[in-house]
Chains A and B, each alone.
Chain A
Amino acid sequence: QKEVEQNSGPLSVPEGAIASLNCTYSDRGSQSFFWYRQYSGKSPELIMFIYSNGDKEDGRFTAQLNKASQYVSLLIRDSQPSDSATYLCAVNMDSNYQLIWGAGTKLIIKP
């Protein structure tokens, strides 16, 4: 059974702090990893993807991948109230373009 697991939260973080979101996956052969942000009542929006071990930075967002430990994380620096959303982790576990989705972590940034 191919699975992606996330803590459903809510994760509450003060404004200006670093928010850390984590995701683990079951298939060691997975190659592509994605973070989506979903605001309430809206569709998911791709914010980061990572293919290689290590860190990938894009503005205030950093994705971290550790294939040996089978986890991927998303760090949000200088968190803003507008970052409050549900963050979905998705993993491509084979070559048929399907994504396996985590349940999502609800992030709340407190002013």
Chain B
Amino acid sequence: SAVISQKPSRDICQRGTSLTIQCQVDSQVTMMFWYRQQPGQSLTLIATANQGSEATYESGFVIDKFPISRPNLTFSTLTVSNMSPEDSSIYLCSVAGTYEQYFGPGTRLTVT
């Protein structure tokens, strides 16, 4: 399986600001996913990011709030824009294998 890293691992941000989360993979992958996981809850898919095309967002998530870049087959970023305390969560990137997914270590975001 791929080795996936995320930066930052955690951050505390003020409301109204933006944070960009980076996801780096040690091998080329076609599909990457961004998830949010709130405390005690399961995973919620934010968007699917394919290289060379715009990200596909799930219902309830919009590009203005969560812009995603996928400049190459090993890297992606997710920006959380104009943050509010409701955005406090763990943000996870994952990559697709055959049909399974492998996850990065996550970014724990706290918005004050």
How many chain B residues have a CB neighbour from A under 8 Å? 18
B100→A103 contact, CB < 8 A? no
Query: A98 interface residue, CB < 8 Å from B?
Result: yes
Binds B, one of A14-22, A43-51, A55-63, A67-75: A43-51
Which residue of B is nearest A106, CB measured?
B40
Pick from A45, A92, A102: contact of B99, CB under 8 Å: A92
For the residues of A in contact with B, the DSSP-based class is loop
Binds A, one of B60-68, B69-77, B103-111: B103-111
B99→A42 contact, CB < 8 A? no
The answer to whether residues A46 and B102 also contact, given A88-B42, A104-B42 and a CB cut-off of 8 A, is: yes
- A contact residues around B45 at 8 Å (CB): 98
* Chain A residues in the interface with B (C-beta under 8 A): 31-32, 34, 42-46, 49, 88, 90, 92, 96-99, 101-104
Q: Which 10 A-B pairs have the closest CB atoms?
A: A43-B103, A32-B99, A97-B96, A103-B42, A92-B99, A101-B43, A43-B106, A101-B42, A97-B31, A44-B103
- Sample 19 A-B pairs with CB under 8 A, ordered by A number: A32-B100, A34-B99, A42-B105, A43-B92, A44-B103, A46-B100, A46-B102, A49-B99, A88-B43, A92-B99, A96-B48, A97-B48, A97-B96, A97-B99, A98-B45, A98-B48, A99-B101, A103-B42, A104-B42
